[in-house]
């Protein structure tokens, strides 16, 4: 395991991202505040470059490459937002990017990754191991592997979103963060513990894939089968060694949201706030709504982690 990142690393990441990542807006809704009887601040990472907070971790990690690493390039495995984040960061920093994707990944996602200049290598998800392919390519061509969440530079980059939120609105009583492999949650923990020490921090998983909750309860990383949920950015099978270590020590709790709650919350954002938030991006907001009874009168931060959802899929989810 590499040394765990600290808030100092988040500060360094914020300096690297300055002028490259968007400082995304913090939005509020009177309707949501009166529904919950709390003051809720939404950090809109659905409006981040490439549509999700993952640009932060990817750009931070690639910015730290030395001359040899830059020339040889980066490799990663992802079929989702991390793929696009690495491809875009590689293009901006002039670092060749190779992305390993399952051969049945949606064509639109492969096209988006190629559109940002990434080289896509496909594999069979039923017979091949993507981590092994990544390590083999790294060995063979001298590429640097940047995984989607379990890396100190990815974690510290992701932590800059919560830092910006608290810098802008001041200390919080509670913070809700979507949870997949834990890069966003562990980075948010570093910032929230430094800037708002009394803040309660909640990770939010899909109900169908609560491996993080099980891991927290049992004290060891629990592995599960790929969960069936519309929250495709949180279909991870287990937390990472680095992310779990930070989460285990510092998180207040890990809670879950059902697919029905996610759709209802997506509809709220679209209708009332004119925001497109992808299902995974709604996890934090759905949990905050469900826990309103405990949040009465409190100042609550919610990270809207991403907005990448096809319009056709959005319509299907809304039953149109």
Ligand X SMILES: *Cc1c(COP(=O)(O)O)cnc(C)c1O
Interface with ligand X (CB under 6 A): 52, 54, 80-81, 148-149, 158, 178-185, 233-234, 236, 278, 280-281, 305-306
Catalytic residue list contains 80: no
Inter-CA distances, 148 with 131, 174, 273, 314, Å = 11, 26, 30, 25
Residue nearest to ligand X (CB): 306
Q: Which of 45, 153, 211, 232 is catalytic?
A: 211
The distance of closest approach from Cβ of residue 152 to ligand X in the complex, given in angstroms and rounded to an integer, is 13
Q: Which of 9, 153, 164, 205 is catalytic?
A: 205
Asked if 226 and 181 touch (Cβ cutoff 8 Å), the reply is: no
Inter-CA distances, 72 with 75, 83, 88, 146, 188, Å = 10, 18, 17, 13, 31
The pairing of beta strand 299-304 with beta strand 39-44: parallel
Catalytic residue list contains 54: yes
Q: Cα Rg for the chain, rounded, in angstroms?
A: 18
Asked if 182 and 234 touch (Cβ cutoff 8 Å), the reply is: no
Nearest CB to ligand X, comparing residues 90 and 182: 182
The distance of closest approach from Cβ of residue 93 to ligand X in the complex, given in angstroms and rounded to an integer, is 21
Q: Which of 51, 215, 305, 307 is catalytic?
A: 305
The distance of closest approach from Cβ of residue 147 to ligand X in the complex, given in angstroms and rounded to an integer, is 10
Asked if 140 and 109 touch (Cβ cutoff 8 Å), the reply is: no
Q: Which of 43, 54, 109, 163 is catalytic?
A: 54
Nearest CB to ligand X, comparing residues 163 and 298: 163
Which has the closest alpha carbon to 99: 145, 35, 42?
145
301: helix, coil or strand? Answer: strand
Catalytic residue list contains 274: no
Residue 300 backbone dihedrals phi, psi, to 5 degrees: -125, 125
Catalytic residue list contains 205: yes
| CA–CA distance, 278 with 282 (Å, rounded to integer) | 7
The distance of closest approach from Cβ of residue 82 to ligand X in the complex, given in angstroms and rounded to an integer, is 6
Q: Where are the alpha helices (DSSP H) in 98-151?
A: 107-115, 130-141
The distance of closest approach from Cβ of residue 161 to ligand X in the complex, given in angstroms and rounded to an integer, is 11
Q: Which of 118, 157, 209, 240 is catalytic?
A: 209
Catalytic residue list contains 45: no
Concatenated DSSP letters of 16-73: HHTTTS----EE--HHHHHHHTSEEEEEEGGGSGGGBTHHHHHHHHHHT--HHHHHH-
List the beta strands (DSSP E) in the chain.
Answer: 26-27, 39-44, 74-77, 97-102, 119-123, 144-145, 174-178, 200-206, 253-257, 299-304
The distance of closest approach from Cβ of residue 216 to ligand X in the complex, given in angstroms and rounded to an integer, is 14
Active site residues: 54, 79, 205, 209, 211, 305
């Amino acid at each position: 395991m590499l040394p765990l990142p600290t808030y100092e690393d988040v500060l360094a990441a914020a300096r690297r991202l300055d002028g490259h990542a968007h400082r995304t807006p913090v939005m509020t809704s009177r309707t949501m505040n009166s529904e919950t009887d709390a003051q809720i601040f939404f950090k809109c990472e659905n409006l981040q470059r490439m549509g999700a907070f993952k640009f932060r971790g990817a750009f931070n990690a690639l910015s730290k490459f030395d001359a040899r690493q830059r020339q040889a390039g980066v490799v990663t495995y992802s079929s989702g937002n991390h793929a696009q984040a690495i491809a875009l960061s590689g293009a901006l920093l002039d670092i060749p990017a190779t992305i390993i994707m399952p051969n049945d990944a949606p064509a639109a996602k492969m096209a988006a990754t190629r559109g940002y200049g990434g080289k896509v290598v496909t594999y069979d998800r039923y017979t091949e191991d993507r981590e092994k392919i990544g390590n083999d390519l790294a060995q063979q061509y001298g590429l640097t592997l940047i995984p989607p969440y379990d890396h100190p530079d990815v974690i510290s980059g992701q932590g800059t979103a919560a830092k910006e939120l608290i810098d802008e609105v001041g200390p919080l009583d509670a913070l809700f963060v979507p949870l997949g492999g834990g890069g966003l949650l562990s980075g948010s923990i570093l910032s929230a513990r430094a800037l708002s020490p009394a803040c309660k921090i909640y990770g939010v998983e899909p109900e169908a894939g609560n491996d993080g909750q099980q891991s927290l309860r049992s004290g060891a990383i629990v592995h599960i089968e790929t969960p069936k949920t519309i929250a495709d950015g949180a279909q991870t099978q287990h937390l990472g060694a680095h992310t779990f270590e930070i989460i285990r020590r510092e998180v207040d709790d890990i809670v879950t949201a059902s697919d029905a709650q996610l759709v209802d919350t997506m509809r709220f954002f679209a209708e009332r706030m004119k925001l497109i938030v992808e299902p995974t991006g709604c996890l934090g907001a759905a949990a905050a709504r469900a826990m309103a009874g405990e949040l009465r009168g409190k100042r609550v931060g919610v990270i809207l982690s991403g907005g990448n959802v096809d319009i056709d899929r959005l319509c299907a989810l809304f039953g149109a």
